[in-house]
Chain A
Amino acid sequence: MHILKLIFRNTLRHKLRTALTILGITIAILAFGILRTLVSAWYSGVEASSSARLITRNSISLVFSLPLSYKEKIRQIPGVKGVSYAIWFNGAYISEKNFIPNFAVEPKTFLELYPEYVLPEDQKTAFIRDRKSAIAGRKVAERFQWKAGDTIILKGTIFPGAWEFVLRGIYYGAEKSADETQLFFHWNYLNERLKKTTPRRADQTGVYIIAIDDPDRAAEVSEAVDKTFKNSLAETLTETEKAFQMSFVTMTQAIVTVIQLVSFLVIIIIMAVVANTMSMTARERIGEYAIMKTLGFGGWHIAILILAESLVITMTGCVLGITLTFPGAEYFGKTMGNFFPVFDVSAMTLLLDVAASFFVGLIAAAFPTWHAVNIRIAEGLRRIG
């Protein structure tokens, strides 16, 4: 009990210094938390993908389309439970700065294949029945204050012209990881118009989404699909949804690596600050430690004193930092909202926060502790602070 009291008293001895150090840690943990969240936001697409879905695209690259006739052929392949298709539309709402991911999809099969996008039953029927309709995610609807029945006009970048849609429903994610920022509309609507304007581009789709019976047979089914279209004009590449999403992440791997590196740099910097504080503290109190030793306290006693003090400081900072991470991440998520659909602080991040501050506290105190424990009593007493 007494030792606890001593630790707290010690911590509060230099109020200003302690406060500054705690502030430093708070900021570092805050930065670390936000950076980690940023990294996990990068991977959110991968997290949200299902292992029971495969994505088939043109093997040359995503900008090339696949003919619609492939749909029936894919459906015949053993192991395939359902097929849907989607095309990346990339329409701009008012201006290109309002980035909304939007896809032309085959509504019925698409909603079957993506149970994580939940729509009320009446909205779902309305969406499927009306060829001119669209559905939007909860977050994007909130952002532009859309409600069911609104008319939305998208300016096509890949498919020129102004495209008018009637919003028939607002979907929300069944899980937290589901992307609620997208907009989906009827592939048929797009296709009918393309038939008139650019027949060359009609009856094409961007990707096929394949639901499979058994996730363990993913590799087998993918191979079967690709083999079917080998040596055709549009060869395919089929991979699991996870791998498909991952390929986007790996393309920007460099940036993720930089962010990760920086997040560790933050911790190293703060370690330097805490170590500085602790070594100053310990140096000032060498005389006291010598006295304590004279009184018969063992080396480990002193070690605990210093370590505990350092931990008290880092942990206080950690708790403060974590509390600030939530509003911080929210603000950051809003500014960067256009880039990341999901921006939530994960439990893993918090765990890392705690672990990092624990280690900082431990390592920062290591050298002063070692010094204080090893110093000889006479020497310590002789030292004048």
Chain B
Amino acid sequence: MALVVFVFATILMLAEGLRKTLVDTGSYDNVIVIRRASTTEVQSGIDRYQASIVETQPEIAIVQNGRRLAAKELMVIINLPKRGSEKPSNVTIRGINEQSLLLRPQVKLIEGRMPKTGSYEVIAGENITRRFRGCGMGEKLHFGMRDWTVVGAFRAGSTGFNSEIWGDVDQLMQAFRRPVYSSVTFKLRDASDFEVLKERIETDPRLTLEAKREIQYYADQSEMMTKFLRILGMSLTIIFSIGAMIGATITMYAAVANRTSEIGTLRALGFQRRNILFAFLVESMLMSIIGGFAGLFFASFMQFLTISTVNWQTFSELAFSFTLTGGIVYESSIFSIVMGFLGGVFPAFRASKMNIVDALSTR
């Protein structure tokens, strides 16, 4: 029983962790503009001309010095070997400008400094520094025929940015020989302006672009993963709960059979049929809730694990951890009680239907 709840809770936690990572990555009043029909930044391409049109839209928030809070960014994927296993995986590189950090308040520098504009310097997300070779502080990465020095590490809560490497956008564009941006991200002056802006950008004949709220953009990216996890999780949960219910039923039937004479005695003493029914049901539910708590207890340790995998839609590395929320604790407890009830209901009925004389006469 404990095992079943463990699996149930773990899968819920996994899905929750993934959802949280991707949803936290975006913020509601940020808008991301990518080329129409491309689903991710990697596929997208926006040339300088189009990017500057987007950048001058009046709805964009303005910060000090009258500058607009918009970042024209480049996003590509490179292969880097993991520490230890040396197996390569895909890592996202994001070319940033000065505004990028302001747009994403979740991102905090924890070590070193920001890369200087115009230099071959990069900073790496927390998940990357630890797990990929050449991404630690002061180490050098080689790509695009150049060596790039890692001058800092940043932490970005539990967001997808943790699995990225950031560097100066113009330098990266040069190195990769890719004279187009991938996306333009900006903050809205007023979050409710979005519809108007979207309409204008998407109907402008000079632009072949599409605007999305950042939250929506990241939720779309994980759609396939979450769907996969959900189908897998549901089928597993059903299978496991049937197994657990069968276990509970067998045990309870045996309990009833063992205590036949006790039941008879209780009935003879004047306890009602429903008292007996109730007693067995409670026993079964108690049993499964103890199992449930044990399962949750072990599942809570899973929070220390971080899972990393490649998201098929973006084709890049994404690390996320199991997340235990109050909702999951609640759901798992309900789940185990229901299992206990279903497993115990038939044996309890049998117990309550016993004939007093027959029950007493069995040895």
Question: A335 — nearest CB in chain B belongs to which residue?
Answer: B231
A359 interface hit (Cβ, 8 Å): no
Contact with A96, one of B4, B39, B177, B307 (Cβ below 8 angstroms): B39
Complex Cα distance, B89 from A255, in Å, reads 14
**B249 cross-chain contacts in A, Cβ below 8 A:** 20
CA distance A280 to B176 in the complex (A): 69
A273 and B250 alpha carbons, distance in the complex (Å): 8
Interface residues of B: mostly helix, strand, loop or mixed? mixed
Chain A nearest CB: distance from B296 CB in Å? 16
Neighbouring A residues of B243 by C-beta, 8 Å: 24, 27-28, 266, 269-270, 273
Query: Are B3 and A269 in touch, CB under 8 angstroms?
Result: yes
Q: B175-201: contact bitstring with A at CB < 8 Å (1 yes, 0 no)? A: 011010000000000000000000000
Of the candidate stretches B116-124, B156-164, B308-316, the one touching chain A is: B308-316
When the two chains form their complex, are residues B144 and A60 in contact, meaning their CB atoms are under 8 A apart?
yes
Q: How far is the CA of A94 from the CA of B165 in the complex (A)?
A: 34
Cβ-defined contact, A265 with B239, below 8 A: no
Tier of interface size on chain B: 35 or more
Nearest-neighbour CB distance to chain B for A337, whole angstroms, equals 11
Is A339 located at the chain interface by the 8 A CB criterion?
A: yes
Contact present for A251 and B246 (CB under 8 Å) = no
Task: Report whether B247 and A276 are in contact in the complex, using a CB–CB cutoff of 8 Å.
Answer: yes
- A265 to B10 Cα, complex, angstroms: 13
Partner of A27 from B36, B79, B242, B254 at Cβ < 8 Å: B242
From known contacts A61-B78, A63-B76, infer whether A24 and B247 are also in contact, taking CB-CB under 8 Å.
Answer: yes
State the CA gap A79–B145 with chains docked (Å).
Answer: 29
Q: Are A251 and B317 in contact (CB under 8 A)?
A: yes
Contact across chains for A158 and B38 when beta carbons are under 8 A apart: yes
The answer, yes or no, to whether B269 is at the interface (CB within 8 Å) is no
Chain B nearest CB, measured from A34 CB (Å): 8
Q: Note all chain B residues with C-beta closer than 8 A to A266.
A: 239-240, 243
Kindly report which residue of chain A lies nearest to residue B220, judged by CB atoms.
A96
**Interface: B235 (CB within 8 A):** yes
Instruction: With A16-B253, A31-B239, A251-B317 as known contacts, state yes or no: A233 contacts B7, CB within 8 Å.
Output: no
Q: Are A253 and B309 in contact (CB under 8 A)?
A: yes
**Which residues of B from 45 to 94 have beta carbons under 8 Å from A?**
76-79, 87-90
Evaluate contact between B254 and A273: CB separation under 8 angstroms. no
Residues of B within 8 A of A16 (CB): 253
A108 within 8 Å of B (CB atoms): no
Q: How many angstroms between the C-alpha atoms of A378 and B90 in the bound complex? A: 70
| Chain B residues closer than 8 Å to A262, beta-carbon distance | 7, 236
24 inter-chain pairs at a CB distance below 8 angstroms, sorted by A residue, are: A17-B250, A27-B239, A28-B243, A31-B235, A38-B232, A60-B76, A60-B144, A62-B79, A63-B42, A64-B176, A90-B43, A92-B37, A157-B38, A160-B38, A237-B79, A251-B310, A254-B309, A258-B307, A262-B236, A269-B240, A273-B247, A276-B251, A280-B250, A339-B228
**B interface list, Cβ under 8 A from A:** 3-4, 7, 14, 35-39, 42-43, 76-79, 87-90, 143-145, 176-177, 179, 208, 224, 228, 231-232, 235-236, 239-240, 242-244, 246-247, 249-251, 253-254, 307-310, 312, 315, 317, 363
Starting from the known contacts A30-B239, A63-B77, A258-B307, 15 additional A-B residue pairs (CB-CB under 8 Å) come to A20-B249, A24-B243, A24-B246, A60-B176, A62-B90, A64-B76, A157-B43, A160-B37, A252-B312, A254-B308, A266-B240, A269-B3, A269-B247, A276-B251, A336-B231
